[in-house]
A and B are shown apart, each in its own frame.
Chain A
Amino acid sequence: MNKWYIGEGDHNDIVISTRIRLARNLKDYPFPARLDNKSKIKVNELVRDALEGREKLDYTELKTLTRAQIVSLAERHIISTEFASSSDGRALLMSEDEQISIMLCEEDHIRLQVMKSGLDLQGAYELADRIDNEINEKLEYAFDERLGYLTQFPTNLGTGMRASVVLHLPALAEKGQLNSLASTVSKLGLTLRGAYGDGTAPFGDLYQLSNQVSLGISEKAAIDNLKTIALQLAAQERSAREEMKDSKLTEDAVYRAYGILKSARILSTKEFMTLISRVRYGAVCGMLKVDLKTINELMVSLQPATINAFVGRTLTKDERDVERANIVRDRL
């Protein structure tokens, strides 16, 4: 079964993936922080049953998974880090291709998420909207005409929607333009931040652009706005890449990165992400003949806990760095 990140999609030279998240709550239950475990499980099962026979989703109570499996889900952005932080009373509905995931009893009863590769906000929203309607046919949502969908944090009121795209921006990062771009997009109601690593020093030049406001703006307007800005960032990244393309320094950096990845015996997450970012850039520019699918897959699957889950046991950091280097050599 192909995972969502293996497909290619529009603007895949820059846009890695698209995600839509909808926050919903059931009318008849208090929000999760005011629920005991028994009621949380009741809520989880109501949602599971509402989708029974409508969508092909696997239901998993989080407490039946190992720590490594849970963290790995978070590393692959299938669940949030908040969701991974506790397993009590929480459950996950997920499609086999990992495109659809529904976090149950996170900060809201329902956090429905749809992922697509490349830029496909429309496609992701349509699918999320369909599932949302299917749940709503069976269960009544907490909703207010003035405030929209009611959520545990008022920051998600209104549409309850967060739309985001992950962008690969090595050339803009190299030119040091990301801080000023981040402050520009924040004035437009959007947030630009590192998608991996901590916010201040993101790994692999991967950035997430998402809408910040959900009340007083329709789903369509929020999506259109996000798409316009994403395309503008992509255009700026392309022209920055064009400027850098013919420099010997750039070419050298790309081939060195490729050489190290193909021969290294130990690779930390940070070093790997820095190098694979250059290789991805080289592949898009036509310098290297490496499949983008392979690169995307490696970027997603070589985070620490995902390696543990793949190997099937918990490795020490040193063991993991060796294992990561083995996998990379094998795949490139």
Chain B
Amino acid sequence: MLCQNCQKNEATTHIKRIVNGETTQAHLCSDCAKSLGYDSMFTDFSFNFPDMLSSFFNDTALASLGAHTLRCEKCGSSFGDIVRSGRIGCADCYETFYDKLLPLLERVHGKTNHVGKIPNSFEEIAKEEKSEHSELETLRAELDEAVKAQNYEKAAELRDKIKELESEGKTDE
């Protein structure tokens, strides 16, 4: 089969693209594939993500998402900027545009929840939260027992401690 682009060389690169359920096929020689940007499809770290992003969100989809009005507070990127450049602006963009990105992430990875390594700082936070939590639980159990034993003096003391811990948790949030 000859290359569809130059009609000269044998087609060695066969590309099937499915965009919004519509399948298109291209048969190209390696030179044309390269010049049309298909050679980098499977480069090491990302299969041409910018192309993928722009084919996923066409202009109408962008307009309906209100892509040009909502901006990331930290780096100032709008969702339209991200689609145009093919790159996420900063860590906070993931928070700001989470809902819009989610269907795309699902398509890329098949899943949308991280499992695996957690950075040190997050591990500590997770542990602290857990220990605070369990301290509260212990105090509540003690309070129940104190009430059952009709030891009201101790129960009042425990109730004050619990309130204190709970309010600390709230101010942290």
Chain A positions within 8 Å of B, measured between CB atoms, are 21, 23, 25, 27, 29-31, 33-34, 80-82, 107, 111, 129, 132-133, 136-137, 140-159, 161-162, 164, 189, 191, 193, 198-201, 208, 210, 212-220
Asked if B111 is an interface residue, CB under 8 A from chain A, the answer is: yes
For the complex, give the distance between the alpha carbons of A107 and B87 in Å. 9
For the complex, give the distance between the alpha carbons of A156 and B95 in Å. 16
Asked if B148 is an interface residue, CB under 8 A from chain A, the answer is: no
For the complex, give the distance between the alpha carbons of A145 and B33 in Å. 39
For the complex, give the distance between the alpha carbons of A291 and B49 in Å. 42
Set of chain B residues within 8 Å of A148, measured between Cβ atoms = 114, 116
Are A153 and B119 CB-contacts (below 8 A) given A34-B75, A164-B44, A200-B30?
A: no
Set of chain A residues within 8 Å of B45, measured between Cβ atoms = 21, 23, 80, 82, 107, 111, 153, 155-156, 162
Q: Mark B103-134, 1 if CB is under 8 A from A, else 0.
A: 01100111111111111111000000000000
Set of chain A residues within 8 Å of B88, measured between Cβ atoms = 31, 150-154
Interface size on B, residues (CB 8 A): 44
Contact, CB under 8 Å: B105 / A154:
yes
Contact, CB under 8 Å: B74 / A215:
no
Set of chain B residues within 8 Å of A31, measured between Cβ atoms = 87-91
Residues 1-42 of B contacting A (Cβ, < 8 Å): 12-13, 30, 33-34, 39, 41-42
* A-B CB proximity, top 8 nearest: A216-B111, A148-B114, A142-B91, A30-B90, A215-B109, A218-B116, A155-B46, A30-B75
Chain A min CB distance to B147 (Å): 37
Contact, CB under 8 Å: B112 / A219:
no
Contact, CB under 8 Å: B43 / A82:
yes
Contact, CB under 8 Å: B110 / A30:
no
Contact, CB under 8 Å: B112 / A198:
no
Asked if B138 is an interface residue, CB under 8 A from chain A, the answer is: no
